[in-house]
Amino acid sequence: MSADIKDLDDLGSSGLDDFPTLRAVARFARTVPHVSWFLRLGEPLTEEVRRIGDSYVHALGFPDCAVAAVGDWEEAAAATEDSGFDEPSWEAEEQLTAGLMDEALVIVEREELTIALTHVSAAAGDAAKLAIEEAAARAGYSDRVLLDAAAGAATKACYQTALLLAGGGDEDHAVAFKYRLFESGHWPLGVIGSTFNIF
């Protein structure tokens, strides 16, 4: 079920009026099904996408990472399974997410925030799952593990973005840049060594 402003009206009397940043989350939830999820997998990266990728790794605290294009599904699968996956970058993003949660809870009550995040995650999960399956069908690819990883990564990016909005965060946050990479139709796979891979 897609989330929209009517869903978020479930927040009741302590809802959108009492917590104005949740209006931004509600608007965001409405856009999620209309994003160009996974439409440009394997395509050459535009200068704009590379710029966003650079901004992401800088904001994450890894300015020496080079943005690299992943050209096909097999390469993407190998990249997601690579034992060289950069745990420090993963930990940095998890810490950012925890910080966003703390910031959001200063502004929004936990119950209301949980309802909003649940709706965003539901909308994102549905949209991303459908989109990655369509992209895989076009490419003749069927590895369920990779498809589930893609949908999960997109859903997490939406969850993080909703947290950023709930806390009144800014557009130069690493989470915002990562979401914009998804919004461009690509899949940011993550950091391996000194390379930030984008499919």
Per-residue pLDDT tens for 54-77?
A: 999 999 999 999 999 999 999 999
Say if residue 6's pLDDT is above 50.
Answer: no
Q: Is 18 helix (H, G, I), strand (E, B) or coil?
A: coil
Say if residue 86's pLDDT is above 80.
Answer: no
What mean pLDDT, rounded, does the chain reach? 90
Say if residue 80's pLDDT is above 80.
Answer: yes
pTM higher than the cut 0.75:
yes
Q: Is 183 helix (H, G, I), strand (E, B) or coil?
A: helix
Q: How many CA atoms lie within 13 A of 120 on its CB side?
A: 28
CA dist 40 and 106 (Å) reads: 38
Tokens standing for residue 27: 């608007």
C-beta of residue 55 within 8 angstroms of C-beta of residue 48: no
pLDDT for the residue numbered 2: 33
C-beta of residue 163 within 8 angstroms of C-beta of residue 24: no
Average pLDDT over residues 100-115: 96
Q: Rounded to 5 degrees, what are φ and ψ at 197?
A: -90, 135
Name the least confident of 12-16, 75-79, 127-131, 170-174.
12-16
Tell me the residue type at 60: L
Domain extents in the chain: 9-198
pLDDT for the residue numbered 82: 65
